[in-house]
Structures are given as C-alpha cells and as structure tokens.
Amino acid sequence: MTVETPAPKVSRRQQLVQIALEVLERDGFAHLSIGEVARLAGIKPPSLYKQFASKADIEVGLVEHGLQLMAAEFERCLEQMPPDTTPTDRLRRLLATFREFGLAHPQLYLLMNSKPFDEQQAASQMTHAAARMFIGTVSELLGPDAGEVAVPAIWTWAHGILSQEVVGRVRRPDATWEMLVETVASMRG
C-alpha cells in the first residue's frame, strides 16, 4: 500500500500572490489592479488588506515569489549539468536559464527589477538562493575575488540585455547573450 504525501498547504497570502501574478502577466505591472485581484479571488478589495498592508506589499509578495521561482530554475539548471561542465558553460547555461525565466514571466521580471531597494531589501536580495547561485557561478569562473565588482556588473549587463529583450529592443538576442558570456570568460585571470 502506497501512502501519498499530502501537498504542502498553501497559505491564503500565497493564493492571492498567485492570483496577483495572473493579473500582472495579463495586464502588466503598471496596471496591476487590487480590484481585479480581489475580483478573481472572489472577495471584496478591502478583504485583501487582511493579507497585505498595501498594493506595495502585494508587489513585495510578487517579487519574493519571483525570486523563489528563479532560484528553483537556477537550482534545476545547476543540478542537470554534468560534473565536467566548464565554468564558462556553467555561466552560459545559468544565463540561459535567467533569460528563459524573464521571457516566460516578462511582467514579473520587469516588476522584480523596476523599483529601487532600500538597504534591508538589497541585503535580502543578495543573500537569496538565486543570487548565491549566480555569485557562485561567476566566482567559479573568475575567482573568489570577483564578487565585489564583477558579479554586480555582470548581473547588471545581463539584466540590461533581458530588460531590452523583454520589450523587443534586441535585434540579435542570441548573439548578444553569447557576447556577454565570451566577454566574461575573457576576464578570467
């Protein structure tokens, strides 16, 4: 007899974040409507405030959800790599996963990267699993001292390419991404 493990219980807040994600991807982050989230959830808008302090709090929930999704994708990518994958190919594959995430969730990606962080949020983002995997991959390629300047620069370059690609402004995206990988690889000391 097989005993099935029950799926983890999803909190009401997590359910509402999922609904907000549907609205976000359909309507765009500039048009994320609390009224529409409430309507799809089958509740009145004031009831949302039992789970969220404000629309900004919903956005924070969406960003955290996005980071969790990205971390899961990065983890899957790294787990599927053969042990003999070169550091350059590890970076290439991780950046491809980053790109696929942004293209699969364009509005979520834009929301995740559209507003400045306060110091606490910035510190939290840099210790998030997705950031740690990216930092580890770049450090493996460029050495442990790469973290302070090179990692943020490479992340910013990748973010710039993806942000422009999401809105249709990169004419040759594959070549542009490959140029990023090759340039970073050439920095290896």
> Would you list the DSSP string of the chain?
-PPPPPPPPPPHHHHHHHHHHHHHHHH-GGG--HHHHHHHHTS-HHHHTTT-SSHHHHHHHHHHHHHHHHHHHHHHHHHHS-TT--HHHHHHHHHHHHHHHHHHSHHHHHHHTSS---HHHHHHHHTSHHHHHHHHHHHHHH-GGGTTTHHHHHHHHHHHHHHHHHTT--SSHHHHHHHHHHHHHHT--
Model pLDDT, residue 3 = 62
Calculate the alpha carbon distances from 134 to 102, 104, 147 in Å: 15, 19, 10
User: In which residue are the tokens 């991404």 written?
Assistant: 177
Contact between residue 181 and residue 89 where contact means Cβ atoms under 8 Å apart: no
Mean pLDDT across 18-32: 94
Tens of pLDDT, residue by residue over 61-84, are: 999 999 999 999 999 999 999 999
How does residue 119 score in pLDDT terms, banded at 50, 70 and 90?
low
Assigned token pair, 32: 């994320």
How does pLDDT run across 154-183, given as a tens digit for each residue?
999 999 999 999 999 999 999 999 999 999
Report pLDDT for 114: 84
* Amino acid 167: pLDDT: 92
Q: Are 89 and 31 in contact (CB under 8 A)?
A: no
